[in-house]
A and B are shown apart, each in its own frame.
Chain A
């Protein structure tokens, strides 16, 4: 397909305020294109919900789109529903019916994320509302190419051209400011059917398309003439075969093309595009295929295949617009999982640049983003990853952020640009490997991460354990929270964001030391699970041992060796873990030590864990 060609499947999002008549418009579109079965039509003639003004016996079109019981009771739409509209041309429209209420902005964004076209309703009697601009802004943000604005309920204003012109000008102007170029405005009455499917005789001053005709005009993005982006979803194996399977995001791949993995320069030639129905000569955007390369490259799920002419250079810092979907607000400094197609990578939101008022379009200063808010953030990934700008490709530039503890999707993000491409940071492979260094040391490097409340006894246990290990000839180092904060991390405070950065730096330093063959003992409060999880993710399994020093808060308060609890009680130390801030105990620590028992017992248990691990001493 080249630009302007019409795909068989069109995805549409329907949006509008609660009472704009969206359900009625969609219901009528479905019914008048024979897209609804008879028994559902029968139901819409006989069943009535509270407030319906449609007489029994006539079709209440709004009932054709109601889904869940809770929605029928409340007479509103809660969640996105998907329906099929059969266009007279034989093309298919998949309608995502998005709710109008403000608290469901996230669902609106979801419905718009895959849409080629948006149908936006405006109630002629009530005029353009804030919500209308919100929906328009979200469509622009999510990259919807076509917008059909239906000025509805014109029957209520006697099909006044003046009213229509004013509303049409206002909404079209807003769309133009959002740089949405393919905009159609249609005067309709969804209830009576004017200009929905059939041309109205009551709008002689209008000679544009009906809503249905405007839908037929929708074309697809020119995805297959763009540079190749092929995210590898899975590796398929069979005797004498290893193929890379996935759905092509943009571009075209042909037998004989030379492909490379983003971030690497080695090329493999496409020798086969395998499908069950026989091999193909070429495949294009949207096709789910399996390619075989010669020579076979070292490729894993989540890698991105491109061509050398237009590669995607991996980066590890990005500016992105996000729609916040989590119940908990975005805390920058927090570690999340970033998911983009088959790619999953730990990532941190390092800064909130601004919040966007989606009704006025204005940018506002903000440090946090709450549910249903939209803003620009900076995201740092744990390793360089190949992401495109969203304008270039939704599939390689759109991402979600996942909370690492609840596993909820908390944000949808659109990459605007990379802040730091890693093209000039090439990791050098040194000849003296970690293995070689460890052989010289006579034992494996390892990180033992002691977490617990202030005063729980982490430093005491670390100190005693180190003395023991040292006596046995094991090379050790202790990274103690207080000591690190005196130097490397003296710029950091105790907010959740600063704690996350504190943990990140200590984990990175511990990893460097471990690679030199040292057993590193970390004694750090590190109160948040997600931060510790991010630290753990830097390591291979077995290299990172989380040890929980479990001491009741009352005991720590009693000890109060640094006087911190006294300060907290006096109100001069707001962020003390366990008092002013939560401490989240580990759920799956390798070891839990009682901080109230005999230190020598704890050390013995810890020693057993460190030394029993295969390869620690040989």
Chain B
């Protein structure tokens, strides 16, 4: 008898194999987070005993937590990955940072633009991402195979009907595909799978004493000396962890004592906040995820 995780795993493996088999040059987006970690493991399973047949690409804004980069490099070793790092170097040179440009504009420049450029530079026609439908309302409408128009635009009204296990993988000039194998997973599914399969995750997901400041009601961990402190602001040590990892100045921590995967799952089974509540970039404007997706964000 199969459980929910077995069924979700089989669906994800199907989507990964379909992407690898039907497209000319696929790539997997790797964000270092727990969902990306699950995807790597699923890719390993999907093509076993063969190798993972596509490269992975990390969109590095240069503002990730240091522990994330260390972890990424460990994963490259462990899974023998062909890693591509894509950074908007022009914007970095211009000094674009979360402090200078505001969360929304910073995200557009450092993530959306860097992603589009990375995909174009290598000519990838399909990109596999770890988004889940339970994350956010506009993502509930997302297909597992999501068509992007020239310029990587997402047009909700032009999405293709998805029936059975049959995918229309035909692309016209300039069109690309995004594949979301974890579409039907919930945050709790991801953690239960991490536990069941014994997968490594970035230690930032677990509670530890970290230097924090409070900004607009959010707990921000001061990860390096680039953090611009307000006058009189002194980082305080607090027991915190992250539910969602991004750029450190934009990722809100939560106070927690959960120091293991079991603790986390227990905490989550009683916690009722949605995961992206801690992402500052989603907060601006009622439909901001939808607006970002239209521009080509994941």
Contact between chains at A106 and B50 (CB < 8 Å): no
Cβ-closest chain B residue relative to A66: B137
B89 within 8 A of A: no
Return the contact of A233 from the options B17, B172, B183 (Cβ within 8 A).
B17
Instruction: Given A8-B6, A408-B160, verify A84-B48 contact (CB < 8 Å).
Output: no
Flag A36-47 by CB within 8 Å of B: 1 or 0 each: 011111000000
Contacts of B20 in A (CB 8 A): 234
Contacts of B272 in A (CB 8 A): 34, 37-38, 41
Instruction: Given A66-B137, A339-B168, A407-B168, verify A241-B49 contact (CB < 8 Å).
Output: yes
Contact between chains at B170 and A274 (CB < 8 Å): no
Contacts of A84 in B (CB 8 A): 133-134, 184, 186
Contacts of A342 in B (CB 8 A): 18, 21-22
Return the contact of A7 from the options B2, B22, B162 (Cβ within 8 A).
B2
Cβ-closest chain A residue relative to B20: A234
B 11-52 contacts with A by CB, 8 A: 11, 13-14, 17-18, 20-22, 44-51
A428 within 8 A of B: no
Contact between chains at A69 and B48 (CB < 8 Å): no
Flag A343-383 by CB within 8 Å of B: 1 or 0 each: 00000000000000000000000000000000000000000
Contact between chains at B170 and A337 (CB < 8 Å): yes
Return the contact of B49 from the options A8, A82, A238 (Cβ within 8 A).
A238
Task: For residue B216, give the distance in angstroms from its CB to the closest CB of chain A.
Answer: 16
Flag A80-97 by CB within 8 Å of B: 1 or 0 each: 111110000001101000
Contact between chains at B170 and A82 (CB < 8 Å): no
Contact between chains at B175 and A276 (CB < 8 Å): no
Contact between chains at B4 and A9 (CB < 8 Å): yes
Contact between chains at A288 and B10 (CB < 8 Å): yes
Task: For residue B65, give the distance in angstroms from its CB to the closest CB of chain A.
Answer: 24
Task: For residue B293, give the distance in angstroms from its CB to the closest CB of chain A.
Answer: 10
Contacts of A441 in B (CB 8 A): none
A500 within 8 A of B: no
Contacts of B274 in A (CB 8 A): 37-40
Contacts of A80 in B (CB 8 A): 141
Contacts of B47 in A (CB 8 A): 236, 245
A340 within 8 A of B: yes
Contacts of A341 in B (CB 8 A): 164-166
Contacts of A40 in B (CB 8 A): 274
A480 within 8 A of B: no
Contacts of A287 in B (CB 8 A): 10
B167 within 8 A of A: yes
Contacts of A82 in B (CB 8 A): 133, 140-141, 183-184
Cβ-closest chain A residue relative to B197: A277
Task: For residue A265, give the distance in angstroms from its CB to the closest CB of chain B.
Answer: 26
Cβ-closest chain A residue relative to B3: A8
Contact between chains at B2 and A8 (CB < 8 Å): yes
Task: For residue B200, give the distance in angstroms from its CB to the closest CB of chain A.
Answer: 16
A266 within 8 A of B: no
B157 within 8 A of A: yes
Contacts of B157 in A (CB 8 A): 78-79
Contact between chains at B21 and A301 (CB < 8 Å): yes
Return the contact of A275 from the options B3, B48, B168, B277 (Cβ within 8 A).
B48
Return the contact of A395 from the options B162, B164, B290 (Cβ within 8 A).
B164
Contacts of A37 in B (CB 8 A): 272-274, 277
Instruction: Given A79-B141, A237-B50, verify A110-B166 contact (CB < 8 Å).
Output: no
Contacts of B175 in A (CB 8 A): 407
Contact between chains at A409 and B10 (CB < 8 Å): no
Contact between chains at A339 and B167 (CB < 8 Å): yes
Bound complex: CA A94 to CA B9 (Å): 15
A557 within 8 A of B: no
Which of A34, A67, A398 counts the most B-chain CB atoms under 10 A from its CB?
A67
Instruction: Given A114-B163, A288-B14, verify A39-B21 contact (CB < 8 Å).
Output: no
Flag A3-16 by CB within 8 Å of B: 1 or 0 each: 00101110000000
Contacts of A72 in B (CB 8 A): 286-287
Bound complex: CA A408 to CA B172 (Å): 9
A 209-243 contacts with B by CB, 8 A: 233-234, 236-238, 241, 243
Bound complex: CA A1 to CA B7 (Å): 13
Which of A38, A70, A82 counts the most B-chain CB atoms under 10 A from its CB?
A82
Instruction: Given A8-B3, A83-B140, A342-B21, verify A94-B277 contact (CB < 8 Å).
Output: no
Return the contact of A1 from the options B1, B45, B290 (Cβ within 8 A).
B1
B 133-167 contacts with A by CB, 8 A: 133-134, 137-138, 140-141, 156-157, 159-167
Task: For residue B115, give the distance in angstroms from its CB to the closest CB of chain A.
Answer: 22
Bound complex: CA A288 to CA B16 (Å): 11
A 247-266 contacts with B by CB, 8 A: 247, 249
Bound complex: CA A92 to CA B189 (Å): 11
A107 within 8 A of B: yes
Flag A416-429 by CB within 8 Å of B: 1 or 0 each: 00000000000000
B202 within 8 A of A: no
Contacts of A276 in B (CB 8 A): 44-45, 48
Bound complex: CA A288 to CA B49 (Å): 14
Bound complex: CA A241 to CA B47 (Å): 12
Contact between chains at A8 and B4 (CB < 8 Å): yes
Contacts of B273 in A (CB 8 A): 37-39
Flag B257-298 by CB within 8 Å of A: 1 or 0 each: 000000000000000111001000000001100100000000
Task: For residue B144, give the distance in angstroms from its CB to the closest CB of chain A.
Answer: 10
B8 within 8 A of A: yes
Instruction: Given A8-B2, A84-B134, verify A339-B166 contact (CB < 8 Å).
Output: yes
Cβ-closest chain A residue relative to B16: A288
A394 within 8 A of B: yes
Bound complex: CA A106 to CA B157 (Å): 12
A400 within 8 A of B: yes
Which of B44, B175, B184 counts the most A-chain CB atoms under 10 A from its CB?
B184
A406 within 8 A of B: yes
Contacts of A8 in B (CB 8 A): 1-4, 6-7
B171 within 8 A of A: yes
Task: For residue A393, give the distance in angstroms from its CB to the closest CB of chain B.
Answer: 10
Task: For residue A618, give the distance in angstroms from its CB to the closest CB of chain B.
Answer: 33
Contacts of A91 in B (CB 8 A): 4
Return the contact of A68 from the options B10, B133, B141, B165 (Cβ within 8 A).
B141
Which of A9, A274, A405 counts the most B-chain CB atoms under 10 A from its CB?
A9
Task: For residue B222, give the distance in angstroms from its CB to the closest CB of chain A.
Answer: 26
A 1-35 contacts with B by CB, 8 A: 1, 5, 7-9, 34
Instruction: Given A107-B161, A236-B49, A407-B171, verify A68-B138 contact (CB < 8 Å).
Output: yes
Contacts of B10 in A (CB 8 A): 247, 286-288
Contact between chains at B141 and A106 (CB < 8 Å): no
Contact between chains at A83 and B133 (CB < 8 Å): yes
A399 within 8 A of B: yes
Contact between chains at B164 and A394 (CB < 8 Å): yes
Instruction: Given A1-B1, A68-B290, verify A113-B141 contact (CB < 8 Å).
Output: no
A448 within 8 A of B: no
Bound complex: CA A337 to CA B1 (Å): 37
Contacts of A412 in B (CB 8 A): 161, 163
Contact between chains at A67 and B141 (CB < 8 Å): yes
Residues of B within 8 A of A (CB): 1-4, 6-11, 13-14, 17-18, 20-22, 44-51, 133-134, 137-138, 140-141, 156-157, 159-168, 170-172, 175, 183-184, 186, 272-274, 277, 286-287, 290
Pick 14 A–B contacts, CB within 8 A, sort by A: A8-B4, A67-B140, A79-B156, A81-B141, A82-B184, A110-B163, A234-B20, A236-B47, A287-B10, A288-B10, A288-B11, A341-B164, A400-B168, A408-B160
Given pairs A68-B156, A236-B47, A236-B48, 18 additional interface contacts (CB within 8 A): A9-B7, A37-B274, A38-B272, A41-B272, A79-B159, A82-B133, A84-B184, A241-B50, A277-B45, A288-B11, A288-B46, A339-B166, A339-B167, A342-B21, A398-B166, A402-B168, A407-B170, A408-B160
Q: Which 7 A-B pairs have the closest CB atoms?
A: A37-B274, A38-B272, A234-B21, A288-B13, A113-B163, A69-B287, A276-B45
